Structure 1
Amino acid sequence: MLVASGLIVLGLVVLVVGGDLLVRGASGIASLLGISPLVIGLTVVAFGTSAPELAVSLSASSGDAAEIAVGNVLGSNIFNVLFILGISALVTPLSVASQLIRLEVPFMVGVAILLWVLGMNGHLGHVEGSLLFGTLMIYIVWSIWQSRRESKKVVEEYEEEFDNPPKSIWDALLQLVWIVLGLIGLAYGSQWLVDGAVMIARKLNMSELLIGLTIVAVGTSLPEVVASVMASIKGERDIAVGNVVGSNLFNMMCVLGLTAIVVPEGVPVPQTAIWQEFPVMIAVCAICLPIFFTGGRIERWEGAMLFGYYILYTTYLVLGAIESPYAPMLGKAMLFGLVPLTILILTVSVLNSLRSTPDLPSEEAPEEATAD
């Protein structure tokens, strides 16, 4: 058990460092090539922070721990929304002003539903993986096109995150070194993390799916935690939200899509995940819709609600793993009590927001009024 714990800790540390180096290098290269900072924030950085999930899923699927791949993605997406957005909003209310993010959120819900449908047969093969990865390519092209329509103010907000772009060939070479070192760190860190997690799962008779949903999901989401919380502390408006939404999209379309393409046997989808974790992930993604559209910000009370949901969900998973008699009780309480209450609260919040929103003739009205 001590060796397994050591492997997990070492793997997590190397994954976080490797992910950070990859994000730095990729962002620097993208900036050097003249790619919009907005696109860098929502695609390159989101992909970089999702790289640990990709490394772990590929490593797990190519070995004898394939269920960890699915659990890792589902658990990471649930963790990203409930824990990371919850904590970030508790630090300071998060603005959701960019139209790009407003369009991405419904797209995230749609991709989650598509992934669920594709996995209904208990397997993600090369065809399903190609469909997911092809959708990712379309999404990237669309993001680049859409970013050209963003207002100057929104673009400037993202430029603040990348204030030291490379300016010479030597700077570019340094970015490539960061990328290579990051990829090496991800390769070794993911293998150590998977090995340690599998050892613990077998010693405790826990399923690989549960390990993927908890330990591995939290560990591989640490880069997203750092990126979003730091953006929240620094007061960056859409960075924290964009990183989470972008990472969720990459987890579903790239991590599972590419894994299903690369691994010869594809990715098996456990029945438990189909009827429990997939609906939870879709619900968690869907809960963003009314929260993001009420007042254009995530308030502290909404952040506390999200964070509380993650604690309850994790508690339910742990109680179920140890076969506690309280697990079914907690599950029914959340399904028949918490879910209807949440729907009621968000419905009232949306209605109040719609009532209090003034009818403006154009988007320029608030600025003109302020100028006067």
Structure 2
Amino acid sequence: MIKDLGLLAAGVVLLYAGGEIMVQSATRLALLLGISPLVIGLTLVAFGTSAPELAATLVASFKGLGDVAFGNIIGSNIANIGLVLGLVALVSPLKTTFRFVTQEMPFMLFVSGLLFVLGRDGYLGRLDGFIFLSLLGLFLFFLFKRDKTIESLADNEHKNSRSKIFLYAVGIFAGIGLLSFGANVLVEGAVNIARHLGISERVIGLTMVAVGTSLPELVSTLVAAYRRAGDIILGNIIGSNIMNILAILGLTPVIKPFSFSKEGVTIDLSIMIFFSLMAWAMLAHKKTVGRLKGAILLGAYILYVLYLYK
């Protein structure tokens, strides 16, 4: 048991380190290429912080742990809104734009609803994966087409751009390596603990693995909150939820289709959509998520975890 707890802790640390290296490298690369902060949050930072979920889901899928693989994504999306957005709003109230409320948030709800439809049968196959990946391609196309790039960097920054691009690319691949190894360690430790305690793999995936793989989102958004970078915060959280569904549940079944227990799937997906709707309503109201709204989100997440372990 102690060994398994050690594996779990080591996996979380490796995931955090890998995610942090990847996020920093990806963000700096995006800035070097002149991409706006909101798009950075919705794409590179979101995908970077979702990389732990990708690694953990792929590992769980190959090990035949479908409940952990699927539960990890659902639990991560719930944690991103309830835990991450709730905590960040308590630290620093967030403001958003009309465009974000009327475009990015509804799209997140749409893909969440699509997952509800495709995932209720307890199986995600290659066709499901291709549908998600196609939507991801369309999302990225329209996002970059609509984006207005930030001002180009000064000439002295461009002189060393090639070496910087190479350095940041190395950082991204180094982060991926740490994430892959950390995910394998995390999944092994979490599943062993589940078996020792008699806890279902579904609950472990929804909580322990989900929170562990959501740590990069939590840390990066807390840092962004401290720096008052609201666009990157909301872009990261909402973008991560979109990436979790379209990229991770798109790529994983294309590589290896997997099945999971139907028990609780409808409830889990409904709760995920409920948290998404709650966040949308809060952002639509005055386009702000203050400390009271953050406390409500965090309180709802705590109640959800207590419900799972009752």
1:202 aligns with 2:191: no
Structure 2 equivalent of residue 3 of structure 1: 3
> Does residue 165 of structure 2 align to residue 177 of structure 1?
no
- The total of aligned residue pairs comes to 306
Relative contact order, CA 8 A, sep 6+: which one is greater? 2
1:255 aligned counterpart, secondary structure: helix
Partner of 1:343: none
8 Å contact kept, 1:77–1:248:
yes
Alignment correspondent of 1:119: 119
Counterpart CA distance in 2 for 1:85 and 1:206 is 27
CA–CA distance in 1 between the matches of 2:158 and 2:125?
40
Question: Unpaired segments of 5 or more residues in structure 1?
Answer: 320-372
| 3-state secondary structure, aligned to 1:29 | helix
What is the match of residue 21 of structure 1? 21
Task: In structure 2, give the amino acid aligned to 1:199.
Answer: N
Q: Structure 2, unaligned stretches of length 5 or more?
A: none
Within 1, Cα distance between the matches of 2:166 and 2:98?
A: 33
> Structure 2-normalised TM-score?
0.93
For 2:158 and 2:213, locate their aligned partners in 1 and report how far apart those are by CA, in whole Å: 27
Could you give the per-residue CA deviations for residues 96-136 of structure 1, whole angstroms, max 9, x where no partner exists? 12614541101111110100101122211000011011111
CA distance in 2, matches of 1:52, 1:260: 17
Deviation at 1:31, TM superposition (A): 3.4
Does structure 2 retain, via aligned residues, the 8 Å contact 1:96–1:102?
no
Q: Give the direction of change, closer, same or farther, for the CA distance of 1:308–1:166 in structure 2 (3 Å limit).
A: farther
- Specify which of 275, 284, 287 is matched with residue 275 of structure 2: 284
The CA distance in 1 between the partners of 2:76 and 2:158, in whole Å, is: 30
Q: 1:101 touches 1:242 (CA, 8 Å); kept in 2? A: no
Amino acid at match of 2:174: L
Residue in structure 2 matched with residue 328 of structure 1 by the alignment: none
- Bigger Rg over Cα: 1
Is 1:60 the equivalent of 2:48?
A: no
Q: TM-score, normalised by structure 1?
A: 0.78
Distance 1:269 1:116 in 2: 14
Match of 1:110 in 2: 110
Encode CA deviations 1:181-229: one digit per residue, 9 max, x unaligned: 1111011100000010111111112111110001000000000001111
Q: 1:239 to 1:118 in 2, by over 3 A?
A: same
Equivalent position SS for 1:235: coil
User: What is the aligned-residue RMSD (CA, Å)?
Assistant: 1.9
* 2:179 is the counterpart of 1:186: yes
- 1:252 equivalent to 2:275? Answer no
Distance 2:188 2:35 in 1: 38
2:293 corresponds to: 302
Closer/same/farther in 2, CA of residues 187 and 253 from structure 1, 3 Å limit: same
Q: Provide closer, same or farther for how the CA distance between residues 236 and 24 of structure 1 changes in structure 2, counting only shifts above 3 A.
A: closer
Which amino acid in structure 2 is aligned with residue 71 of structure 1? G
Are the aligned partners of 2:76 and 2:211 in contact in 1 as well (CA < 8 Å)? yes
Matched, 1:316 2:307: yes
- Give the ranges of 4+ consecutive aligned residues of structure 1 lying more than 4 Å apart after TM superposition: none
Q: Which moved more, 1:50-59 or 1:23-32?
A: 23-32
Percent identical across equivalent pairs?
A: 41
1:91 aligns with 2:91: yes
Asked if the contact 1:100–1:147 (Cα under 8 Å) also holds between the matched residues in 2, the reply is: no
Residue pair 1:87, 1:307 contacting (<8 A) in 2 also: yes
Hey, what's the Cα distance between the residues in 1 that align with 2:171 and 2:101? 29
